[in-house]
Chain A
């Protein structure tokens, strides 16, 4: 998370590269370097503050509360929980956030002794998820209930994976379907099938093109950045919490850029407006 914030400003400064500027962008535009260093300072300030034990406040997300309710419902009904980490491999930042949330879900499911089923589209994701779930069972004090066969590889082909997962939903009738991570053309197919089986559905993705389908077909939906915030909130990890706070500060600064830049454009001060355009990638 912290890297995302750092890279944001690194790439802000690197933007002239796309305009064909061969000079190192930070040397060509020293004001960008100053901005970047300022932002790195913000990130590390909050990171260090969080590491010292002063965790920043992150507002609660309704979708997160629903996760515990959904697992509880599955336990009452004696049915499994289905968890999908999306169609991204572990190189996808959304998959990493999904695996972080999986840790919480798996621990809760282990405490309630509820089976957690997780078909996976990628072998490395499967292996990582197995490690996460195994560790969650250990933390829950229930290592004996960990079943590695519940986390399994299906296929690298998108719709073969979806065909199988839909079949699992129909046959096993999970009481809760949790979709976190990156989804593409299959989001509505999965969510509609889950809806038809009567499961509680909670989704979270940063794929803006797929959010409408999850919003429509799921009971709760984590929208965009909420996926990453959820990951930090659930883990209560100092690094993640600190980086979320730093990202909020960065977000405020970006909002300020938009506001000031737009006002300068409006009052027709092209020189100053051009400054903002350059900083934001206009070259």
Chain B
């Protein structure tokens, strides 16, 4: 059995969290509140240190922190946007916060669209264009054919300008089948991953904490 206080705290909190499998109880609530409180405090402290001090104040006012180099006032724009969001705390100034939120939403959405479209659309499409018949290779022909058919029918399911009736309904239903089969495969794969996480946690309890088994 471990003599490390940290291991004991981690083990007891693990058991408290797992007790939720039975029902909500005092131990789970204690673990829940510790988790929420500690993580919120950690995020707050990290943001203050890295975003506010390191990324903004240190760059804008290096001499105040006894740092060399010329001041760079550009990061103060970020601080201004942050202040705009906080302005909702002042009665009568609430509408200013929308400017800050609008900036964050617009700017970040624009940035993220780039990666999303390249990763989720372009590369996928590029991979979809394949020969539907590969001479003397039945498995490749089947793979390519099913892949193209699956992509085609699944995409048809997401065509919203028409009711899914008649021949179009048949196509979209086929698309749903392809989607469900892929979901099933993904589900099984993730269950295996979760099992490995559970095994890791049990190893921690039985080996690191109790020392019942040796890994």
Contact = CB atoms under 8 A, between A and B. Distances in A.
B122 interface: yes
A164 B36 contact: yes
Given A93-B112, A156-B39, A212 B183 contact: yes
Given A59-B163, A155-B36, A265-B129, A7 B117 contact: yes
Interface string A88-107: 01111100100000000000
Contacts of B180: 215
A102 to B, nearest CB: 15
Interface residues of B, number: 65
Contact of B36 (A18, A154, A282): A154
B54 interface: no
A49 B28 CA distance: 55
Given A59-B160, A127-B85, A229-B160, A90 B122 contact: no
Contacts of A93: 109, 112-113, 116
Interface in A234-275: 244-245, 248, 251-252, 254-255, 257-259, 261-263, 265-266, 268, 273
A254 B155 contact: yes
A91 B24 contact: no
B152 interface: yes
A54 B211 CA distance: 71
Contact of B132 (A257, A262, A282): A262
Contacts, number: 180
B82 to A, nearest CB: 10
Label chain A's interface by main secondary structure.
helix
Interface string B147-185: 010011001111111111000000000000001100110
A7 B187 contact: no
Contact of B159 (A92, A252, A261): A252
A229 B160 CA distance: 8
B155 A57 contact: no
Given A124-B104, A157-B39, A160-B36, A91 B112 contact: yes
A116 interface: no
Contact of A258 (B23, B101, B148): B148
A277 B129 contact: yes
Contacts of B121: 8, 11
Contacts of B40: 154-157, 160
A213 B101 contact: no
Contact of A59 (B109, B110, B164): B164
B105 interface: yes
Nearest to B158: A225
B90 interface: no
A245 B128 CA distance: 24
Interface of A: 3-4, 7-8, 11-12, 15, 18, 56-59, 89-93, 96, 124, 127-128, 131, 154-157, 159-161, 163-164, 166-167, 170-171, 188, 208-209, 211-213, 215-216, 223-226, 229, 244-245, 248, 251-252, 254-255, 257-259, 261-263, 265-266, 268, 273, 276-277, 280-282
22 contacts: A11-B118, A58-B161, A91-B108, A91-B112, A96-B105, A124-B85, A124-B104, A156-B43, A163-B36, A170-B20, A211-B183, A215-B183, A216-B187, A244-B161, A251-B155, A254-B155, A255-B152, A257-B129, A259-B152, A262-B129, A263-B132, A265-B132
Given A281-B118, A281-B123, 8 more contacts: A4-B117, A59-B161, A93-B113, A127-B85, A209-B186, A216-B187, A251-B158, A276-B129
